[in-house]
């Protein structure tokens, strides 16, 4: 396992660009400051600096402060894959080897296009009181995004508020791709497990990355956005936390969880359905057994009714009265 510099060591290197910027991509550039202090945003495995290149282009300069395993291979494979997709949900980036000199050793960096947008929590905070309907719009935009990821068989791997950027029109951009799954990364270890308030407890025992990594966290986020759009008074309790709506303790014991019990009594059928689905998912021991969001949103009773009605339409002698009785999946006889 490689040793990486500390945050304070990296900040120190940034203050000496002539000595420490070793790659052509960094030379002549500068980190941005506020009140003479270098701006930086720290995450679990990286720290990010707003950076102005010598061509005066603003980018995000990402430096690792911990080993994620085969960073070069992962980064280059993901960069090439996403570049071919040309999707607005991702940003272009490049991996630069031997770029930054810190404590006598050269380290790699990633230069990523800078996106002018708010993180998910900051967007909610801005709109929850005055325009809560935007939170519901955001939920639908989020659902569209995860359906696109499923279609492409991509998993971000660390869906959470800090990695979801929201523009004023509620369009979304994903950042931080260190935990991402794409098909060229089959067999790679699942080293970054994400925030506990977004992840299924069984994520901790998952060994390899795969396209189902996001199934639990996407349900958590979509359900949370629906709830906040209808119950904005809940929001102040969660804004300052690392969770969105649920916590690690809620996932450990959903039957005694205050928030789970509140949502199970909701008058919104989608909220109650997804809440129960989330509880059912928590009973699974392997995240490969989970279902994607779009399948959890299917109204199963309505789907069965539609299927039976469709079969009637194609029969040579369909029932003359379509209010005839049909059996629902629970064995109860109902009239249509």
Q: What distance in Å separates the CA atoms of residue 332 and residue 326, rounded to the nearest whole number?
A: 9
Q: What pLDDT shows up at residue 324? A: 40
Residue 101 lies in a domain: yes
Q: Same domain, yes or no, for 237 and 315?
A: no
Q: Same domain, yes or no, for 123 and 249?
A: yes
The whole domain housing 316 covers 303-335
Q: Same domain, yes or no, for 253 and 162?
A: yes
Nearest to 116 by CA among 173, 181, 155, 77: 173
The 3-class secondary structure across the chain, one letter per residue, is CCCCCCHHHHHHHHCCHHHHECCCCCCCCEECEECCEECCEECCCEEEEEEECCCCCEEEEEEECCCCCCHHHHHHHHHHHHHHHCCCCCCCEEEEEEEEEECCEEEEEEEEECCCCEEHHHHHHHHCCCCCHHHHHHHHHHHHHHHHHHHCCCECCCCCHHHEEECCCCCEEECCCCCCECHHHCCCECCCCCCCCCCCHHHHHCCECCCCCCHHHHHHHHHHHHHHHHCHHHHHHCCCCCCCCCCHHHHHCHHHCHHHHHHHCCCCHHHHHHHHHHHHHHCCCCHHHCCCHHHHCCCHHHHHHHHHHHHHHCCCCCCCCCCCEEECCCCCEEEC
Residue 244 lies in a domain: yes
Q: How many other C-beta atoms can be found within 10 angstroms of the C-beta atom of residue 324?
A: 11
Q: Same domain, yes or no, for 164 and 287?
A: yes
Q: What pLDDT shows up at residue 43? A: 74
Residue 2 lies in a domain: no
Q: Same domain, yes or no, for 124 and 272?
A: yes
Token pair for 223 = 């359900």
Q: Same domain, yes or no, for 96 and 166?
A: no
End-to-end CA distance of the chain: 63
- Quote the pTM value: 0.86
Contact 245, 260 (CB under 8 A): no
Q: What pLDDT shows up at residue 42? A: 80
Residue 103 lies in a domain: yes
Token pair for 282 = 């928590």
Q: Same domain, yes or no, for 289 and 313?
A: no
Structural domain count, the chain: 3
Residue 220 lies in a domain: yes
Q: Same domain, yes or no, for 46 and 179?
A: no
* pLDDT tens by residue, the chain, 336 residues: 568 899 999 999 999 999 999 999 999 999 999 998 999 988 778 899 999 999 999 999 999 988 777 888 999 999 999 999 999 999 999 999 999 999 999 999 999 999 999 999 999 999 999 999 999 999 999 999 999 999 999 999 999 999 999 999 999 999 999 999 999 999 999 999 999 999 999 999 999 999 999 999 999 999 999 999 999 999 999 999 999 999 999 999 999 999 999 999 999 999 999 999 999 999 999 999 999 999 999 875 454 455 565 655 656 565 554 444 334 433 333 333
Q: Same domain, yes or no, for 104 and 153?
A: no
Q: What pLDDT shows up at residue 332? A: 36
Find the CATH number of the domain harbouring 60.
Answer: 3.30.200.20
Q: Same domain, yes or no, for 155 and 237?
A: yes
Q: How many other C-beta atoms can be found within 10 angstroms of the C-beta atom of residue 7?
A: 13
Q: Same domain, yes or no, for 235 and 151?
A: yes
Find the CATH number of the domain harbouring 180.
Answer: 1.10.510.10
Residue 1 lies in a domain: no
Q: Same domain, yes or no, for 122 and 264?
A: yes
């Amino acid at each position: 396992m490689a040793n990486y510099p500390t945050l304070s060591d990296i900040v120190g290197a940034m203050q000496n660009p002539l000595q420490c910027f070793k790659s052509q991509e960094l030379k002549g550039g500068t980190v941005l400051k506020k009140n003479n202090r270098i701006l930086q945003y720290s995450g679990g495995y990286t720290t990010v600096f707003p950076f102005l290149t010598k061509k005066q282009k603003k980018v995000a300069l990402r430096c690792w402060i911990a080993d994620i395993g085969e960073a070069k291979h992962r980064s280059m494979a993901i960069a090439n894959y996403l570049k071919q997709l040309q999707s607005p949900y991702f940003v272009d980036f490049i991996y630069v080897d031997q770029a930054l000199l810190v404590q006598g050793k050269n380290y790699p960096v990633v230069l990523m296009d800078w996106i002018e947008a708010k993180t998910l929590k900051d967007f909610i905070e801005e709109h929850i009181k005055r325009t809560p309907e935007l939170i519901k719009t955001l939920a639908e935009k989020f659902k569209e995004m995860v359906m696109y990821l499923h279609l492409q068989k991509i998993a971000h791997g660390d869906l959470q508020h800090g990695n979801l950027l929201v523009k004023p029109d509620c369009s979304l951009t994903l950042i931080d791709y260190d935990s991402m799954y794409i098909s060229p990364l089959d067999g790679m270890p699942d080293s970054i497990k994400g925030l506990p308030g977004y992840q299924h407890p069984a994520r901790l025992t998952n060994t390899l990355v795969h396209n189902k990594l996001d199934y639990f966290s996407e349900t958590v986020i979509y359900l949370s956005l629906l709830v906040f759009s209808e119950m904005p008074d809940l929001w102040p309790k969660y804004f300052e936390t690392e969770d969105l709506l649920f916590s690690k303790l809620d996932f450990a014991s959903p039957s005694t969880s205050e928030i789970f019990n509140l949502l199970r009594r909701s008058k919104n059928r989608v909220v109650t359905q997804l809440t129960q689905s989330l509880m059912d998912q928590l009973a699974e021991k392997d995240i490969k057994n989970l279902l994607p969001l779009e399948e959890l949103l299917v109204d199963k009773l309505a789907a069965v009714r539609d299927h039976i009605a469709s079969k009637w339409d194609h029969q040579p002698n369909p029932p003359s009265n379509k209010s005839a009785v049909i059996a629902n999946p629970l064995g109860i006889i109902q009239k249509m």
